[in-house]
Structure 1
Amino acid sequence: MTVAGKTRRQALTEFREAEILAAARKVFGERGFGAATVDAIASEAGVAKGTLYLYYDSKEEIFWAALLSRLRDALELTKQAVASAQGAEAKIRAVLQVRYDLFRSDAAFVRMYVTEFGHFCRNKGGPTHDLYTEGAELLAGVLRDGMEAGELRRLPPMETALALMEMVKGVFLMRFSGVPGLTDDTAFDGAQFVFELFWAGVRKENKHE
């Protein structure tokens, strides 16, 4: 018997693995990599420690799988959002909303992401680097199309995409970290705030730009 083209066994295995990775993100997010243990992850996932080793060889491998699965999910959601939107403005808004929703909805992932970011910067060609680059290239393509359509000013697409990605990450992470002096307005919309700043700089106001 199949489930969406997969055997029931495959579907159950993938579901079980997804639960394990969600548990791993929670444990890593709360304890950090150094203090997290495979025993704690197994307990959080409700499985025997030996079950984890059917999927992964080490704590480090679990960490990477937990982080990368979330990044891949976010990239896929971004692709879907871009494909369903029309025009540069709507596509940019869609990208921002997906990224901001991810940061806002998964505190454990955010803690893992912050922990990993320095490692990412030092390891070109690694899996997080590749996923980050793919996301930037997707956004750069949106910007390039907007420039060709006359909706946006002509700016370096990749550099502009990276600037936008770092803006939304920076705004959220500073709020997440409790930096003093930030607005305490509960209605503050980070995605809208970043969009308005970015859009003011990239939109094409006349045909001579």
Structure 2
Amino acid sequence: MSTEEQKLSEEELRRKNAIISSRVFLLMQWPAYTVLGLMGIVLPLITPVDQAAFLGSMLLITALVQSMILVRYGINPGFAWRAVVTAITFLASYITLMNPFDLNIPLTMTIGVYMMATGFYVVIEGRYSFSSRHIESVVYCGYFGMALGLSIFSGFPDTVYWTPATALGLYLIALGFTARRFLLKKLPEDAYIGPEDIYDNWGNHAPHPPGQE
């Protein structure tokens, strides 16, 4: 095997590992994000809420979920990206809840920038890890989050019903829906790599496929 072919094989192995690990990463996000998203949309409609405390709490729960998943994910391809996204979520929660240094950053700015930044990550993740799976909704979800973030950041449309909580709720529901679609996809046969990297559809170690012991 030539040096160039060996490099390609190593890159392919890293890509397959990223696909498998991403299934585990998304598994816990599906119910968590869906519930948080619904709360973000419905709760402000039925009862008055402190927007800063409410949004900060939503972001904090999201960050905690991301942290638990990141620990399970381990040091695998894409770890740095996901660690940065988790840190951004914690930072957005801190700014929203604590108002550090009395900066008084508008909620529309904090939530808008957060959704644009994490939406960009979802696009990159979709193109890198999921491109061979033909799950375009991952990339579309990222663009959707970026569009929502830009809308909230710019204040358009200017209506009482279009709030940061509504936008964040829609974004989280979209992430939950995308995770669910990904989980319903069967893992491609060539994703089975070795004894330490074989998983079933729920992220658990699976038996070796025939001929790949």
TM-score in terms of structure 1 length: 0.30
Q: Larger RCO: Structure 1 or Structure 2 (Cα < 8 Å, ≥ 6 residues apart)?
A: 2
TM-score in terms of structure 2 length: 0.30
